Amino acid sequence: MSVRVRYAPSPTGYQHVGGARTALFNYLFAKKNKGSFILRIEDTDQDRSQESALIPLIESLMWLGLKWDEGLILKKGQLESQGFYGPYRQKNRISIYKEKALELIKKGKAYYCFMNLEEEALQKQQALQQDMSFKVSSPYRDFDLSQSEKKIQDGEPFCIRFKTEKTKQSYQLKDLVRGDVSFPGDSLGDFILIRRDGFPVYNFSCAVDDSLMKISHVFRGEEHLSNSLKQQMIQKALDFKCPQIGHLSIILDKNKKKLSKRTGSKSLDYYRQEGYLASALLNFLALLGWNSKTQQEFFYKEELIEKFNIKGLNSSSAIFDEDKLLWLNEKHLKGQSEEGLMKEIKVFLKNPISDKNLFKKMLSSLKSSFKTLKQSAQLLDLFLTDHFELNPKAKDILKGEKSKSLLTHWIAFLNQKDKDYLSLDDFKEFQKSQKNIKGSLFFKPLRCACIGQPEGVEIKILVELLSKKQLLQRAKVALKYTRKD
């Protein structure tokens, strides 16, 4: 049997990092098993689906590097279905769900229900008063089909409900991550398949599509456990083959709160804009609920594909640790080729690169201090412009003891050098000449006079990256902030 897995987001807003983790595990499983990874859009919920969310969601996944073999794709700004099992947007499959719902009705596994909302609300209230869990009890469960059809012809609003077996002691579900999961027999009522507005509910369209699209395995969040049970019941009632399902661990933030869109946790795009590399995020997400059973934590995508194994998935909650993400990002930045890094950083730069070779020199000299692309670009921008500003901290430092004398000597030293760029030896020569000014009294004001801030890069690195002209111009600005010793 060929492996076919899917990621099936509902476009209800931005692409949440938790969803991206689900997409990633499905992707890794597909690639590891030489199978297909499919992107299906679940947009039948009229109230929650947002058309405007769709393209950004797809772009985020593309940015992360999860290329799907089949499904809804974005080509030159246009969305199209690609593959044999389309369309891949549920909105465009409504007639299929209606047909399958009718099939279930004919088999006696589903029924038209004409209860109105007030009747349902009343039952809910009664259950609440008796401290019982609510399960609808519809008088139409065993209603004669021809009578139901007559009501429909008369224009009575209806929904279609699944006829859940009432006699079950318990329900079982085989989970690829947790083993056998059991649900109490009284946990399910006759749930809705098709709403009064004619649109299918998520569980129905998802169950139908997973089977029609020949999905072999589904990896999804733990919160879908009871949905999986309903979906398998639907698939069995339709004599469909059920995919094997694995429920991924819950993701918690550092305060042990569930990470979710509702609690305002972050989007994939947020991390992209903050200057995280897709490869670092991918590496980080892969470690949320999976481990390679080794000490290794740094992975590129290809290695993850090679090492990915269901046995490494675990059910205990994973912590979304931003410090670890930053640490991984730093490592991935260090692992980038010069060309690759240049391409990534360029997006974040405010100033143009006028001298490519000098820029390359800057990258190799500064690389070890990079944590994110954004922060790296902020640093590099300080070198790429003739505009010079001092931050408040720098202005304070320059007011300090000996700064005036230091900068006066620095300007004189620069003036007497007949070259465009200083060398490290030149700098050492200057340092020697200032023996009486030591430690931070030497380095901090000088750094302020070079990049406008007292921290950031070692001075001996940065003096080689600014031209003599820039150094002079900046030192003169800085000198104005110093005061007499």
Question: 215 is written with which tokens?
Answer: 């999905």
CA angle 54, 55, 59 (to 5 degrees): 120
Determine the Cα–Cα distance for residues 130 and 12; give it in Å rounded to an integer: 36
Least Å from the CB of residue 140 to ligand GLU: 28
Contact 136, 115 (CB under 8 A): yes
Question: 424 is written with which tokens?
Answer: 């490290």
DSSP classification of residue 477: H
Cβ neighbors of 110 (< 8 A, separation 6 or more) are 101, 104, 160, 161, 162, 163, 193, 237
Q: Judging by beta carbons within 10 Å of its beta carbon (0-12, 13-18, 19+), is residue 415 exposed, middle or buried?
A: exposed
Residue 421 has φ and ψ, to the nearest 5°, of -130, 145
For ligand GLU, the closer CB: 48 or 107: 48
For ligand GLU, the closer CB: 53 or 373: 53
For ligand GLU, the closer CB: 221 or 454: 221
Using the Cα atoms of residue 205, residue 208, residue 211 and residue 217 in order, give the sign of their dihedral.
positive
For ligand GLU, the closer CB: 97 or 202: 202
Binding site for ligand GLU (CB under 6 A): 8-10, 42, 202, 206, 220, 224
For ligand GLU, the closer CB: 8 or 304: 8
For ligand GLU, the closer CB: 217 or 224: 224
Least Å from the CB of residue 18 to ligand GLU: 10
Q: Is cis: bond before 200, omega within 30 of 0?
A: no
For ligand GLU, the closer CB: 206 or 373: 206
Length of the chain (residues): 485
Contact 233, 162 (CB under 8 A): yes
Least Å from the CB of residue 1 to ligand GLU: 20
Least Å from the CB of residue 317 to ligand GLU: 18
For ligand GLU, the closer CB: 174 or 409: 174
Beta-ladder partners of 4: 36
Least Å from the CB of residue 214 to ligand GLU: 16
Contact 404, 482 (CB under 8 A): yes
Least Å from the CB of residue 446 to ligand GLU: 55
The distance in angstroms from the start CA to the end CA of the chain is 82
Least Å from the CB of residue 8 to ligand GLU: 4
Contact 247, 228 (CB under 8 A): yes
Least Å from the CB of residue 397 to ligand GLU: 52
